[in-house]
Amino acid sequence: MRATLCIVALALLTIAYGTRAADDQSQPWKPPSPDTIPQGPLGDSIRLGRLIFTQTPKYARPYVGNQQSCSHCHLAAGTAPFAAPVVGLPGLFPMFDKRANRVITLDERIQECFVRSENGRPLPYDAPEMTALIAYMQWLSQGQQAGHAFPGRGLVHLPELAPNVQHGEQVYTQQCSGCHGEDGAGMPPAVPPVWGPGAYNDGAGMNNVANMAAFAQHNMPADKPGSLSAQDAYDVAAFIHGKPHTAFNQAYAHY
Ligand code: HEC
Ligand code: HEC
């Protein structure tokens, strides 16, 4: 029953993303079609990068410690505004990173998501997987002006609110558990876990209540994005935050 509901919902979700992009005149940008990736070695690297991005546990196995793909959070293969799109990033980095408290490269930012969101190990700078991820982001960024952030970079800005965890539990049960499960384990690879061993660790950006609220308010529930109030988003984020998450490996604290 849950599986059927979810398949229907995922089909609707594909339609919802499509219509939203078409209706919104302020976002005329369209992601380049994967059919336009060139033949030859550079094209092969871009294609590999896209596969790593959308099926991370399969294509970057040695560096991943959970069941999360980059595209579970960076929606539409890293192209959806206000779902932390990766479009334009090669022209923005190196830049100052608050968490690291220093200027970091794009490679280092990718490593941050590997050790935190992927609960894994840092992908080496010279690994073909790193080259492929950068090649993919560079390909997505064609036509973007270096030094200018892509419109919709990051997440939406919500006012800071005090969460109500009890109400968050109700929101989760009514609007999230049908896909992400009563146990938070989701149905990977299609539906990501939101807590437990398959999910991001407690050092991840998504483990921050304000970040998750901003992500969820604009992007979830996946079959009705934008329907949560800011308060509901804070409440459900605080509820998920209170569930068990793997401890971040402090050996990687400099990332
Ligand atoms: C569990 C969710 C999650 C997963 C999985 C994840 N990320 Fe992220 N990532 C985030 C969040 C949240 C941010 C910060 C967004 C913000 O606040 O602007 C972020 C930021 C980034 C940034 C910087 C974006 C910017 O605008 O500066 C890059 C690059 C990035 N991630 C790459 C990756 C890659 C590559 C993968 C897969 C190997 C990945 N991420 C997996 C949640 C995730
Ligand atoms: C119709 C199914 C569905 C519903 C309902 C749904 N989600 Fe999701 N959710 C997804 C899918 C699928 C993804 C991954 C996005 C992708 O692959 O495009 C996702 C991703 C996420 C992520 C980022 C990935 C991660 O592992 O952290 C969070 C957080 C999240 N959902 C929270 C919620 C919350 C909170 C609700 C309820 C308000 C909700 N979702 C309702 C299907 C759903």
Q: Which fold would CATH assign to domain 165-251?
A: Cytochrome Bc1 Complex; Chain D, domain 2 (1.10.760)
In angstroms, the CA 8 to CA 67 distance is 22
From residue 239, how far is each of 111, 222, 234 by CA, in Å? 28, 18, 9
- Under 8 Å CB-to-CB from 36, ≥6 apart: which residues? none
What's the token pair of residue 201?
Answer: 């660790």
Which ligand lies nearest to the CA atom of residue 232 in the structure? 2
Return residue ranges of the chain for CATH 1.10.760.10. Answer: 33-140, 165-251
Any ligand 2 atom below 6 A from CB of 118: no
pLDDT given for residue 15 in this prediction: 44
pLDDT given for residue 20 in this prediction: 46
Q: Which fold would CATH assign to domain 33-140?
A: Cytochrome Bc1 Complex; Chain D, domain 2 (1.10.760)
Any ligand 1 atom below 6 A from CB of 130: no
pLDDT given for residue 3 in this prediction: 54
Helix, strand or coil, per DSSP, at residue 103: strand
pLDDT given for residue 4 in this prediction: 54
Nearest CA to ligand 2 atom 15: 72
Any ligand 1 atom below 6 A from CB of 238: no
Any ligand 2 atom below 6 A from CB of 180: yes
Per-residue pLDDT tens listing for the chain (255 residues): 455 555 545 454 444 444 444 445 565 899 999 999 999 999 999 999 999 999 999 999 999 999 999 999 999 999 999 999 999 999 999 999 998 899 999 999 999 999 999 999 999 999 999 999 999 999 999 999 999 999 999 999 999 999 999 999 999 999 999 999 999 999 999 999 999 999 999 999 999 999 999 999 999 999 999 999 999 999 999 999 999 999 999 999 989
No. of helices (H) and no. of strands (E), the chain = 11, 2
Atom of ligand 1 nearest to the CA of 206: 12
Which ligand lies nearest to the CA atom of residue 199 in the structure? 2
pLDDT given for residue 28 in this prediction: 80
Any ligand 2 atom below 6 A from CB of 73: yes
